[in-house]
Amino acid sequence: MSKEIDNLASWLIGNVPDEPSQNEGAVDTAIRVMATMIAERDQLRARVAELQSRIGDTESLRLAQSIVREWLDENGGTTEVSDEDRAELRRIYQERIAQSNATVRGRLERGEKDGAV
């Protein structure tokens, strides 16, 4: 067992910057370093999720703007929109969001199979 602990201590010294930083054994150092890394990983995952949500919101807004621009072009630039037109614009928007989501799901599935995610 002491050989494994010596190997752990050597690995920590060689691979973890600024370690050992406290007066503790290799096992306690490894536990502290891993706990710190897990906390940092969790913070990064939360930040990624937040950024993905913002990207999704931005993409949804761009898509909606694009649909409205297309509709305006097709209708001579009129800004008068009937309830039927609004319903049609909503339908087009929802259809394109569904298409976009399917595309993203497909990319993720291919990435997972390829190990690229």
Task: Supply the pLDDT for residue 112.
Answer: 57
Token representation of residue 90: 């909503």
Predicted pLDDT at 117: 43
**How many C-beta atoms lie closer than 10 Å to residue 12's C-beta?**
16
Sign of CA dihedral 21, 23, 26, 27: negative
pLDDT digits (tens, 9 = 90+) for 3-25: 999 888 899 889 988 888 888 88
Q: Spell out a b/e string for 34-73, using b for 16 or more CB atoms within 10 Å of the CB, else e.
A: eeeeeeeeeeeeeeeeeeeeeeeeeeeeebbeebeeeeee
State pLDDT tens for residues 65-93.
888 888 788 887 777 778 888 888 888 88
Query: In the structure, what pLDDT confidence band is assigned to residue 104 with cuts at 50, 70 and 90?
Result: confident
pTM: 0.49
Q: What is the mean pLDDT of the chain?
A: 83
